[in-house]
């Protein structure tokens, strides 16, 4: 039963992912994830050397930059082949991680970069927790499950708040569109009246009516 519950939680809360990125020889390759505030993020990245790079005995280096939804710089490294970054989100929105090949290694070939991106309970060091609290087996799995349930609860609250914000924006937009439509209709009516008065005077002067 516990295994089934853990599997369901894993399907509901995708908190870890392994990504292979094809970084072009020129330009930038970015990945993003929408996160709410107070979420722990832990990521490892590494350059995957292909046969061409191995034969040249030179592993090209990359630059990495991670930014928050408001453009704050959370992590920036240059001339590296691997590394790790970790942070706790303070803003809700899309967090962006960008990779590009350093100028000294640019050529006609791109490269592959492996990215192990973990958030929430997946970023937690459960081995340290188990040693510190002296728990193992079923008790440890239950604690993981508790963390997963809390993550689901936080996500639901975040989605509910976001839905309320989007509904408020939609209602304001609809109200503005309605007022604009009324104003446009009023302008059309006024212009039509002036046109009728002008035509009436014109025909009266010409003694056509």
Domain boundaries in the chain?
Answer: 2-124, 136-209
Query: What is the rounded distance in angstroms from the CA atom of residue 76 to the CA atom of residue 61?
Result: 14
Predicted local distance difference test score (pLDDT) of residue 8:
38
8 A C-beta contact, residue 64 and residue 114: no
CATH number for the domain whose boundaries are 2-124: 2.60.120.380
More confident residue, 151 or 168: 168
pLDDT of residue 12: 41
How far is it, in rounded angstroms, from Cα 41 to Cα 69? 14
Q: How do residues 2-59 score in pLDDT, each as one tens digit?
A: 343 333 344 344 455 678 999 998 889 999 998 888 888 999 999 986 655 555 556 7
Structure confidence at residue 113 (pLDDT):
93
Which range in 72-76, 123-127, 134-138, 205-209 is most confidently predicted, on average pLDDT? 72-76
Give, as one character, the DSSP assignment of residue 37.
S
148: confidence class by pLDDT, cuts 50, 70, 90: confident
Residue 131, helix vs strand vs coil: helix
For 74-108, what is each residue's pLDDT tens digit?
999 999 999 999 999 999 889 999 999 987 666 66
Residue 107 has phi, psi (to 5 degrees) of -160, -150
Give the separation between CA 158 and CA 74, rounded to whole angstroms.
22
Q: Residues 57-68: pLDDT tens digits?
A: 567 889 999 999
Q: What is the distance between the alpha carbons of residues 203 and 139, in angstroms, rounded to a whole number?
A: 95
**Average pLDDT score over residue span 138-165:** 79
Helices (H) and strands (E) in the chain, counts: 4, 8
pLDDT of res. 114: 93
94, containing H or E segment? strand 93-101
Task: Summarize the confidence of residues 163-175 as an average pLDDT.
Answer: 91
pLDDT at 105: 62
Whether the per-residue pLDDT at 157 is higher than 90: the answer is no
For the chain, give the mean pLDDT: 80
């Amino acid at each position: 039963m516990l295994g089934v519950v853990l599997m369901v939680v894993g399907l509901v809360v995708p908190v870890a992912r392994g990504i292979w990125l094809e970084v072009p020889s020129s330009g930038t390759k970015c990945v993003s994830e929408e996160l709410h505030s107070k979420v722990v993020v832990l990521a490892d990245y590494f350059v995957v050397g292909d046969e061409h790079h191995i034969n040249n005995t030179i592993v090209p280096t990359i630059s990495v930059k991670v930014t928050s939804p408001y453009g704050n710089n959370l992590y920036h490294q240059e001339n590296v082949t691997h590394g790790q970054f970790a942070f706790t989100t303070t803003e809700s929105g899309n967090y962006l991680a960008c990779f590009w090949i350093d100028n000294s290694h640019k050529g006609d070939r791109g490269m592959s970069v492996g990215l192990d991106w973990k958030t929430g309970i997946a970023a937690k060091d459960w081995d340290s927790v188990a040693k510190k609290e002296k728990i193992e087996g079923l008790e440890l799995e239950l604690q993981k499950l508790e963390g997963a349930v809390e993550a689901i609860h936080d996500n639901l609250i975040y989605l509910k708040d976001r839905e309320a914000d989007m509904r408020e924006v939609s209602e304001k937009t609809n109200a503005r569109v309605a007022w604009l439509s009324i104003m446009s209709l009023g302008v059309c009516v006024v212009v039509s009246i002036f046109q009728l008065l002008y035509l009436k005077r014109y025909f009266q002067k010409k003694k056509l009516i």
